Each structure stands twice: as structure tokens, then as C-alpha cells.
Structure 1
Amino acid sequence: MIDINEHDFHKLDLNLLLVFTALLRERSVTRAAKRLYLGQPAMSASLARLRAFAGDDLFVRTARGMEPTAHALALAERLKPALEGLSTALFTDTAFDPASSDRTFALGMFDIGEVTLAPALLGALAAQAPRIRLALRPVDQANAVAQLEAGTLELAITDIGPTTGWICTKPLFKESFACMFDPKLVQVRIPISLQDYLAYPHLLTSFGGEFTGYVDDVLVERGLSRHVTMTTTRFSTLPFVLRRFRGIASLPGTAARELGSALGLEVSPLPFEVPAVGLHLVWHARHETDKGHQWLRDLVYRSCMRLAPPRRNRKVSASHPKARCD
């Protein structure tokens, strides 16, 4: 946090600090005015205002030119680090070298995103940025913006809805749904039929603990329903329960394929059309020009697109979709 009293600055035109530094450097009102592209009358008027604010002459005329007073020299000593730091902060393009950086980035995603994406990110970090650390944290559509605004997250991957304020988004891909089950316990033909899908009990991931979700809304529109036996807040719980439970779970297709392959579970398209969900990278605009954050966004974007559904899993080009900041 910056510990200043903003009201103190109302008393001072900060441009007068430039007048002060120019006079220190030139020791001449005429040369200082030329340095600042001011007329000499304007320069003299600014010096008068500066003297009134400081309560000191600051510069006195001598045979050698305008000499600073003791108060001016002491003031210059105190201002030097502040003004040089301000100049660096505002006008220096801060470089970022991933190979030597030791920054820690907080990245939010669903738990199933951690399962599918974390290995790719860690592999990329090992190759490009061995000292950078990632703090993966849970996030969902309901709390993503609040966490980004609070600064507890720097980047999120989520199915974000409409945003307000200084929030930037960049589309990744549209994620379709699939269902997953243990073929030893649920013995059905692939792709699963609607009759078989509705005949078995279901597991549901619900961040709020509800027993209905996105899939159920689609079923209701068709006059149908399924029996949900258990809900959990974590996608990663589902495959382990399914290995001992004669039932079905519906989840994003990318996650279903990854988990099914790893744990010997069967994956099938849903037997009815469910609109795909659009995933986005989301961040606060305060990070928009941060070189390190730009590098992170590019790394995560490329890693996500390599995990995209097959029909979209093309070679990632340099021409990414543009980000949008509200």
C-alpha cells in the first residue's frame, strides 16, 4: 500500500518539481526555461510559486548564476530517490526474463483444470522458467471476478458470464459435455442411448450443493429428468467414486477423456444435445501491460489450446483472439 496523504498534493502543482530540478541542473532561469520549453516570464512565475510553497528563496542570484540555498540542497537530496523512482516506474519499459524470474503467480481454475492443465504448465515452466512458481486456487463463475478484483488471483480460467469494471477476457474454446462410467459396472453400448442414460443414477458436480445443473436444465426442456444420487464440489472426485458405483457422471469432455484414459473408465457423448460452454482467460486490467503477466497469459493460452477438443486442437498460431477489457 502507498502511504501518502493525497490532500497534501492538492497544495502543489507537481509540474513545479520539474521547474525545481531544471533550476538545480542549469543554475539559470533562462536556460531552465529553455530546457522546459517555457517562456522566461512563465519560468519566473513558476519559481515565485515554488518559493511561496517552500517558504524559502530556494535559489539566489550570484555572479555564478542562480545558486541553491541550503534548504534547496536538502530538499533536492530528499526528492532525488523519489523522482528517479517515479521516472523509472513511468517511463522505463520493465523487462521480464522468464528464465531468471522468481515470481509467483496465483492462477484460478476448476479442480479438473488442475488435473488436466497442471502437467502441461509444469513442463513448460521447467523448460522456460524454472524458478517461477504457480499457486493454483479454486475458482468458479460466481467468485472469479471478486477474487481478481481483490488481488488474490492474477489469472483465471472459467466459463465467465457478463463482466463489469476493469475485467479483461480472452476466449479459449467451447467445451462440450460427455458422460463417464465404469464399463464393468455400467454395461451399455457406446454411444450410450437416452434410455440407458436415464436408467442409471447420476453423480453431479455442483459448487452450491444443488442436485440439478446445466444438463438437468436441458433435460427439463425435453420433459425428461434424471436421478442424481450425490453431488460434490469437485470434478476430480467423480472418477474414483465411479470405479465403485454403478452410475454415470456428466462433465466437460476434455476432462472426461483425460480421466477416463487414466483410470480405465468409458467415455461417451451425451445422447442429447447440450450447448457447449465457452471457457475464457480472465484477468484484471491492472495487469494488462505487466510483461510477466503477458508472458503468463500467453503460456496458459497455448497450454489450454493444446488440450482443446479435437476439432479445435489445431496448431496454435501467433494470431491469438483479441482480449476484451470492460
Structure 2
Amino acid sequence: MTNIIENDFRHFDLNLLLTFRALFEERSVTRAAQRLFLGQPAVSGALKRLREAFGDELFVRTSRGIAPTSRALELARQIEPFLQSLHQVLTQPPVFDPASAQRVFRIGLSDSLEVLMTPEIMDRLSATAPGVKLIARPTDSTRAAAMLDEGEIELAVGVFPECAQWQRRRPLFQWRFVSVYNPRLVKTRRKRLTMEEFLQHRHVLTSFSAGLQGFIDERLAVEGLKREVVFSSANFATSPFIVRRTPAIATVPDFIGCVWRDALDLAMSPLPFDVPGYEVSLMWSAARDQDPGLAWLADVFAQAFEEKGKRRGSR
């Protein structure tokens, strides 16, 4: 169907519709030419092409100028709404009404951020935009930019240290690594793990490469230290249930640690050594800067985490 439309329009100059409209309303080639700021021969030539395109005379001479044929009257009823709609599209910015919108957004994020974000976001959409649906696709900082460029997702959520000139980034919140464990199985002298306690217990690791070493191990190696990792997975789904049942420690971003702690009655501790903080941001293609629906969704994410931060601060 697309090829048929393209082939039909390839041989038709849409500017001819403006000439048709002027001729129809002015009923005079001369006045139509003046209205269009064209010479009369140019309008006569355009009328000739209109007649060839539609296979009809369209306008016939009368004592008072020109009069539309029945075919022209029929065309006018269809062309005028089309030109009005096209004018509105070109001159008025697009709008997005969440309450009535029927749209599917594709977002890319890790499973940990999905666990953290989507319950809150879907609760908001249910209340304010019941026709809006989300498709979550797994991604990370190494793949998100390419997925945006390829149109696989419209919005990415994650840690993006770099942002290309043709992409946009909006910060959401900061996070740091913490340790999560079952306080009934991992005994500590204080609420905060010491280095000795951190190293004497076994560990579970989430690594996108699913290896037995990660950033924390590299950090420990700088000081000549080593921990024992007994389980590694590329996602966060299993680890909280392992640490709930075994005397092991999981070191994870604090935002997912809070979810595990509250849902599974676990304990959370800062690390016994310094690690850098990170920033979770929204990222999208600059080509979508004028998409009001995407801008609205970005605001929903930002507002959700602003309020979540306020609730944490009031505890």
C-alpha cells in the first residue's frame, strides 16, 4: 500500500491543490493568479496539469469567469478539509492529551530499574493515562544508544556516562553500591558491615558478563584483598532469594537494595570501603525533541522519582 501511494504522488505536485482552491473560490484565473502572487500564464499552466491529473475540465468558461464542473465540486468537498488539516499540522505544535491518548511507548532499561520504576509508573498511568501502554526491553549503558538510533526503543533509562550530540539526557537520581544480606544468617557486630565481616562471608554477584568477578573485585584487588563469589547472574531476579536463605552477601545499587530490604525483610549496609556514585538518567533521540507524548512520559518518570526522594527524606 505504501508503494502505491508513493507512486501516485510522485507524479503529482501538491501545490496544484492550492491553485485548485484559489480557482474554486475566485472563479477567475486572473484573480486566482493575483491571490497566489503568480502570473496568469502560470495559473493557466497549473489548471492544464490539474485537468490532466483528474481527467476532467474542472472549470469551464462563462460570461462571469469560470464555473466548477460537478467533478470540481466533488473534489472541493474533499480537498478543503485536507488542506485545513495540513495547515493545522504545519502551523500548530502537536499536542498530547494523556487522558485520551492511545499510544504504546517502548522503553529500555535493566531489570533492576524495571523492578524499581515500573510499579510506580504503571500506577500513575492507570490513574492519568489509561490508554497508554509500555513495552520494557532489556538494555544497558553499552547498548542503549544504539537501540535508540535503530528505533528499537524511544526512551532509555540507565547510567549513561556519555551522550552523543544527536541524543538528549535528563538526570533522574544518584545511587551508590550497598550490601544486602539476611541479618539472621549474616551476623554483624554493628549495623554497618566491617571489612572483616564483608570478606569472611560468601557473595552473590550480578554481572552483565555473568562472570565471577566484577567492579567490586577490581576495587578490592587494589588493596590486595579478595572475596569469594559463589553465584553470578546477568540479572537481579534470583540474588535476593539466595541471600534470604543462605549466609551470603549481595552488593547491588542502593535503589534495588531498598526494594529487596523492604520486600524480603533483609538488611542493608554501606560498603566498608569507598566506591564512586553513579547517576541514572533518561536518554532519547534529539529527533524526538518535539514529540509531546515522549516529553510527557519523561516528566512522569522525573516526577515519580522526585516524589519518591521526598518520601525517603521524610523517613
TM-score by length of 2: 0.81
User: Which runs of 5 or more structure 1 residues have no equivalent in the other structure?
Assistant: 315-326
Partner SS, residue 172 of structure 1: strand
Establish whether residue 105 from structure 1 lines up as the match of residue 102 from structure 2: no
Offset at 1:158? 0.9
Alignment of 1:1-80 (within 5 A): 2-3=2-3, 14-36=14-36, 38=37, 40-41=38-39, 44-49=41-46, 51-52=48-49, 55=52, 59-68=59-68
2:16–2:50 contact (8 Å) kept in structure 1:
no
RMSD between superposed Cα atoms in Å: 3.3
Q: Residue in 2 aligned with 1:217? A: 218
Q: Residue in 2 aligned with 1:186? A: 186
Establish whether residue 157 from structure 1 lines up as the match of residue 154 from structure 2: no
User: Quick one: distance in 2 between partners of 1:54 and 1:232?
Assistant: 70
User: Quick one: distance in 2 between partners of 1:216 and 1:31?
Assistant: 82
Partner SS, residue 208 of structure 2: coil
User: Quick one: distance in 2 between partners of 1:182 and 1:44?
Assistant: 88
Alignment of 1:237-276 (within 5 A): 237-276=238-277
Q: Residues 81 and 231 of structure 1: is their aligned pair in 2 closer, same or farther, counting only changes over 3 Å?
A: farther
Offset at 1:69? 5.9
Q: Which moved more, 1:78-87 or 1:190-199?
A: 78-87
Q: Deviations over 1:271-295 (max 9, x none)?
A: 1221111111122344332332222
Offset at 1:246? 1.9
User: Quick one: distance in 1 between partners of 2:4 and 2:306?
Assistant: 44
Q: Which moved more, 1:187-196 or 1:26-35?
A: 26-35
Alignment of 1:92-171 (within 5 A): 92-164=92-164, 166-171=166-171
Offset at 1:132? 3.0
Offset at 1:219? 3.0
Q: Which moved more, 1:210-219 or 1:225-234?
A: 210-219
User: Quick one: distance in 2 between partners of 1:134 and 1:184?
Assistant: 39
User: Quick one: distance in 2 between partners of 1:149 and 1:53?
Assistant: 41
Q: Residues 192 and 152 of structure 1: is their aligned pair in 2 closer, same or farther, counting only changes over 3 Å?
A: same
Q: Residue in 2 aligned with 1:90? A: 90
Establish whether residue 175 from structure 1 lines up as the match of residue 172 from structure 2: no
Q: Residue in 2 aligned with 1:231? A: 232
Percent of matched pairs sharing the same residue: 39
Alignment of 1:308-319 (within 5 A): 308=309
Q: Which moved more, 1:117-126 or 1:70-79?
A: 70-79
Q: Residues 258 and 137 of structure 1: is their aligned pair in 2 closer, same or farther, counting only changes over 3 Å?
A: same
Offset at 1:3? 4.1
Q: Deviations over 1:72-121 (max 9, x none)?
A: 66765775565454334333444433223343333332222232222322
User: Which runs of 5 or more structure 2 residues have no equivalent in the other structure?
Assistant: none
User: Quick one: distance in 1 between partners of 2:261 and 2:103?
Assistant: 35
1:192–1:271 contact (8 Å) kept in structure 2:
yes
1:61–1:67 contact (8 Å) kept in structure 2:
yes
Q: Residues 306 and 214 of structure 1: is their aligned pair in 2 closer, same or farther, counting only changes over 3 Å?
A: farther
- One-letter amino acid matched to 2:96: F
User: Quick one: distance in 2 between partners of 1:237 and 1:309?
Assistant: 30
1:104–1:134 contact (8 Å) kept in structure 2:
yes
1:175–1:278 contact (8 Å) kept in structure 2:
yes
- One-letter amino acid matched to 1:267: M
Offset at 1:59? 4.5
Q: Residues 12 and 148 of structure 1: is their aligned pair in 2 closer, same or farther, counting only changes over 3 Å?
A: same
- One-letter amino acid matched to 1:44: P
User: Quick one: distance in 1 between partners of 2:45 and 2:270?
Assistant: 79
Q: Deviations over 1:184-222 (max 9, x none)?
A: 222123321223222322211122323333333333444
Partner SS, residue 258 of structure 2: helix
- One-letter amino acid matched to 1:248: I
1:16–1:46 contact (8 Å) kept in structure 2:
no
